[in-house]
Amino acid sequence: MSTPTPESYERGKGMDAHNSVMRDIRARKEKHYDPHEPTRVWLDEDNTPDGVYQSLTIILNTGGCRWARAGGCTMCGYVAESVEGGSVPHDALMDQIDVCLEHEREGADEKSGLIKIYTSGSFLDEREVGAETRKAIAETFSDRDRIVVESLPDFVTPEKLRDFREEGLETDVAIGLETANDRVRHDCVNKYFDFDDFIQASENAASVGAGIKAYLLMKPPFLSEPEAVQDMKESIRKCAEYAHTVSMNPTNVQRYT
Ligand code: SF4
């Protein structure tokens, strides 16, 4: 990558300008979502540290990612799939879980051992999913073996993860690290946190016996192909110490980005 000039960090250029443009683009969203229906739900199979499991993947419909509302990551259009107004109440979120359980009953002979919950934001952000709902969801799935919840690192605390561990669930936090390189994460992806925050989140998870699944971005915007391959290799090596699983995700062009 080239070295930026100091001017590219002036206010009104660089990330301030990016965030301002992204807010305008995201405001063009026209589709509206029912807060009693999940964004998506599907049955699949997944590899875990304990072997392959039938999985139920749930994209909960919440108020969406706080960071996306401020501008957000360059490649991410998930906030366009969220309910307007910033929050979804407990009862509506539990209705969404009921819809997902019904989907599982209709599509599979047995209950899935693995539950994966995403929110087009952070499941552990209490502005998206409050403590009451988090505990109720942990209880609902207490008869399963393992749960994965996705979150930005800032929201990963031992207290929140204990809700799942106390129900006897093997627990993983999926973190969209994207790359282990802070410069690429900040300047190409426009993601605000540092690798040190990821390490801190992994330590918080480990303190209650939970694990980390790192999501890496295959070819962050603005990197050439060789740079992207190199970035992926270095990132896998660097995060292997803190994450038991790495998920490599090809960049795609999403709506409202
Ligand atoms: S990638 Fe994650 S943190 Fe970034 S805008 Fe999308 S949901 Fe938010």
In Å, the largest CA–CA distance within the chain is: 60
Nearest CA residue ID for atom 4, ligand 1: 73
| Ligand 1 centroid, distance to 257 Cα (angstroms) | 11
Nearest CA residue ID for atom 7, ligand 1: 121
Domain boundaries, the chain: 6-174+195-208
Q: Which of 127, 152, 253 to mutate to test the pocket of ligand 1 (most atoms within 8 A of CB)?
A: 152
Tokens, residue 230:
């190199």
Closest atom of ligand 1 to 66 CA is 8
List pLDDT tens digits, range 101-125: 999 999 999 999 999 999 989 999 9
Closest atom of ligand 1 to 152 CA is 3
Separation of alpha carbons 28 and 22, rounded Å: 10
Pair 173, 161: CB distance under 8 Å = yes
State the pLDDT at residue 11: 46
List pLDDT tens digits, range 235-253: 999 999 999 999 999 998 8
List pLDDT tens digits, range 139-196: 999 999 999 999 999 999 999 999 999 999 999 999 999 999 999 999 999 999 999 9
Taking the CA atoms of 96, 147, 178 and 124 in sequence, report the sign of the dihedral they define.
Answer: positive
| Ligand 1 centroid, distance to 159 Cα (angstroms) | 23
